Structure 1
Amino acid sequence: MEGVEPENNTENNAQAAANAASGTQMPATARRSLDDPNATFEDLPFKPQLTEKQAKRANQTFKGMVLSIGFTIAILIPVLMLNPAPKDDAFESDVNLQATAEQTEKISGFEIFAPELGEKEYANFARWQANTAQGVPYWECGLVFENKDFVWVRQAAEANPTWIALITDAAVPTETRTIGGAQWEVRTKDQGTYLISEFKDSTVVLSSDTSDVQLNVVAEQVASELG
């Protein structure tokens, strides 16, 4: 192996010669096999030595690694200071649900469902979908509750089976449920549950993939306000 020479230990050789002359023997320590996972450098038949060039190159590599780590840390510190960890409140929307609903009622022709929300509840979007590929204009909003449960509300005056199938992603009807005194058709697909009910001047489609309990709570509010 280039740059590796067996160590010629003069003191050990002299000591061995003296012991041989006096008739005494040094206790021999058995070397482990190099295949032994507990083997160390002491078990090598020779001690590896680096040449001057190899030692210089190894030292330069270590210095380069230290400089690289320091440079990386110097870059990361200002980046982390300029981009603090996001807080939960940062994701809350400033959508004014009531004001948007009032404006929408002027063009929708039906009573818009826009519930009063609690302190830790909010709407992350609210809009009137006028130009839709299905040809059915509708109101929609997203309601986010305290445990981040989400309920999607969609409401239309001109709902038809095709529009409902598209809105519910072709979910399969499973049952009819009475909630808040109104009859709701239940459809499911994957993790999502859909509730569909007709009121005096509009059809409401509620959906959630986070909480059936919260979905039922919103359905009760719809039945109370529009029924």
Structure 2
Amino acid sequence: MVMYATSGLLVKLSCNDFWEDGHVSDYTPTPPVKPVIAAGAAKRANASIMGMLLAMFSTVAIVVTIVWLNPQQKAESYRTPIDVAAIASHAAGTAGFTPVAPALPDGWYANYARWNPPGSDGVSFWDVGYVTSANTFIALRQSATANPTWTSDQAQNAPVTGNRTIDGRVWELRDKPKGDRSLVLVSGTTTIVLTGAADFKEFDVLATAAGRLVDAAPASPAASISTTKGSTS
């Protein structure tokens, strides 16, 4: 605020006053002009937003409907089928015995099957991985050249804790408080080791099927040759 004395009068000027042609003039600032959207433009803008929202909701509804009508496919829909019997038949000539390829109930499947040549321990073996109907895993390994070290390795060095009779055959049980369990069967010239985290009832299914095949398996070529040599000497 500025004060002036003129003609004996005290004139007070505020910040909003200014001189114009020698006189004091009141200045009122012009308020800012707000943009005004025409009614038609506003209607079109609202229609565009509503259209986008409707399109989004429609897309979500379609996706939800598809998922609801087509539940998630099971893992077996995508897995590659493993013909265990064919691989076992092919490996028999190299193995010197007929590797077991048990037929198992619905819901079971193999996710690999292979013949492993001798390693540093000199043991070659048949190796199949089975996923049970409860979606747990059991590995089946069979060898005609097994030794105690190999057997212990396949059982993850678990101690012997007892025996389990399955379908008339006595399997050696090896397990730890925390870890997988193993069943070991020595039948004829081969040793079978089953190892996994499955329940006993699932082990029983695989042990029964594998044990019956071992009993029914023909003598290995090596055993036949050895018997022939012994009879002619």
Range of TM-score over shorter length: 0.5 to 0.7
Once residues 138 and 103 of structure 1 are traced to their aligned partners in structure 2, the CA distance between those partners, rounded to angstroms, is: 14
Q: Does 1:121 align with 2:108?
A: yes
The letter for the 1-side match of 2:142 is Q
More strand per residue: 1 or 2?
Answer: 2
Larger Rg: 1 or 2? Answer: 2
Q: Choose which of 90, 101, 113 in structure 2 pairs with 1:103.
A: 90
2:193 paired with 1:214: no
Match of 2:135 in 1: 148
Q: For residue 197 of structure 1, what is the aligned residue in structure 2?
A: 185
How far apart are the structure 1 equivalents of 2:181 and 2:124? 22
User: Which residue of 1 is the match for residue 99 of structure 2?
Assistant: 112
Is the aligned partner of 1:157 residue 2:157?
no
Mapping 1:58-77, distance limit 5 Å: none
Partner Cα separation in structure 2 for residue 156 and residue 173 of structure 1: 19
TM-score by length of 2: 0.57
1:153 counterpart SS class: strand
Per the TM alignment, residue 132 of structure 1 is displaced from its structure 2 partner at its CA by 1.9
Return the TM-score normalized by structure 1. Answer: 0.59
Query: Is the 2:103–2:209 Cα contact (8 Å) retained in structure 1?
Result: no
* Alignment check: 8 A CA contact 2:184 2:194 kept: yes
Number of residues of Structure 1 aligned to a counterpart in Structure 2: 147
Question: 2:143 corresponds to which letter in structure 1?
Answer: A
2:156 aligned to 166, 169, 187, which one?
169
User: What is the DSSP-based 3-state SS (H/G/I as helix, E as strand, rest coil) of the residue aligned with 2:126?
Assistant: strand
Aligned residues of 1:193 and 1:208 also touching (Cα < 8 A):
yes
1:119–1:223 Cα change, 3 Å:
closer
> How far apart in 1 are the matches of 2:189 and 2:118?
20
Change (3 A) 1:176 1:119: closer
| Identical-residue share of aligned pairs (%) | 31
RMSD: 2.4
Unaligned ranges ≥5, structure 2: 1-71, 216-233
